[in-house]
Chains A and B, each alone.
Chain A
Amino acid sequence: DTGVSQDPRHKITKRGQNVTFRCDPISEHNRLYWYRQTLGQGPEFLTYFQNEAQLEKSRLLSDRFSAERPKGSFSTLEIQRTEQGDSAMYLCASSLGGGALRETQYFGPGTRLLVL
């Protein structure tokens, strides 16, 4: 069990470009979450997957944002036509699911995005 991994760890892009981030959850974890965090704030929920199904999506996730989790394993988060306001840390978390302590969320190290 190597924990939740995210790739890349850092990304610098120019405004208007598309970027894609990847998250590999802990194996056998059914639930996967994406968050965005800006300096001095707690993480903001973006979206949630139960296996391959995207069950909840924040209104923060505009039509420029899309997330997938094909086959219920790794997940990708794509941002199209990036804006400077998209600069943030993007965090992924996973949990086993099934109630009680199985709902504990384990976080990856995050991908720091800077849009110039």
Chain B
Amino acid sequence: KQEVTQIPAALSVPEGENLVLNCSFTDSAIYNLQWFRQDPGKGLTSLLLIQSSQREQTSGRLNASLDKSSGRSTLYIAASQPGDSATYLCAVVNTGGFKTIFGAGTRLFVKA
């Protein structure tokens, strides 16, 4: 049974700092991994999708890496801004189906 864990659960950093959010999963037979952002009371916004054959994806100040063998993904945010404050969620889709398993998220607060 796939389980997804995100560490830390919460993080507070000063503006401008580079930071790393971690996601681990128990079953390496994944089809893809996605990172999302969620603002309070809102739906999710897709940030990056990494296919199982890829090692990383980049979008602007965001870089996500994937190491299937160790069951880990990281989301790197460069030069953090107060507008980055949100909950960041990672989700995996296993091969052979489309059930998507989410972690509980990392709540990020960037102080001005």
B interface, CB within 8 angstroms of A: 4, 31-32, 34, 36, 41-46, 49, 51, 89, 91, 93, 97-105
Contacts and interface: CB of A to CB of B under 8 A. Distances in A.
Contact of B46 (A43, A48, A104, A108): A104
A82 to B, nearest CB: 21
Shortest Cβ-Cβ A-B pairs, 3 listed: A42-B102, A107-B43, A107-B44
A100 B32 CA distance: 8
Contact of A104 (B4, B34, B89, B97): B34
A101 to B, nearest CB: 6
Q: How large is the interface on A (under 10, 10 to 19, 20 to 34, 35 or more residues)?
A: 20 to 34
B46 A105 contact: yes
A27 B33 CA distance: 24
Contacts of A50: 98
A58 B31 CA distance: 18
29 contacts: A31-B98, A33-B100, A35-B100, A41-B105, A42-B4, A42-B91, A42-B102, A42-B103, A42-B104, A43-B91, A44-B102, A45-B99, A45-B100, A45-B101, A55-B97, A55-B98, A56-B97, A56-B99, A58-B99, A91-B43, A103-B31, A103-B49, A104-B34, A105-B44, A107-B36, A107-B44, A107-B45, A108-B43, A110-B43
Given A100-B51, A101-B49, A40 B44 contact: no
A93 B91 CA distance: 13
Contacts of A101: 49
B97 to A, nearest CB: 6
A79 B43 CA distance: 21
Interface in A70-105: 91, 93, 100-101, 103-105
A106 interface: yes
Contacts of B89: 42-43
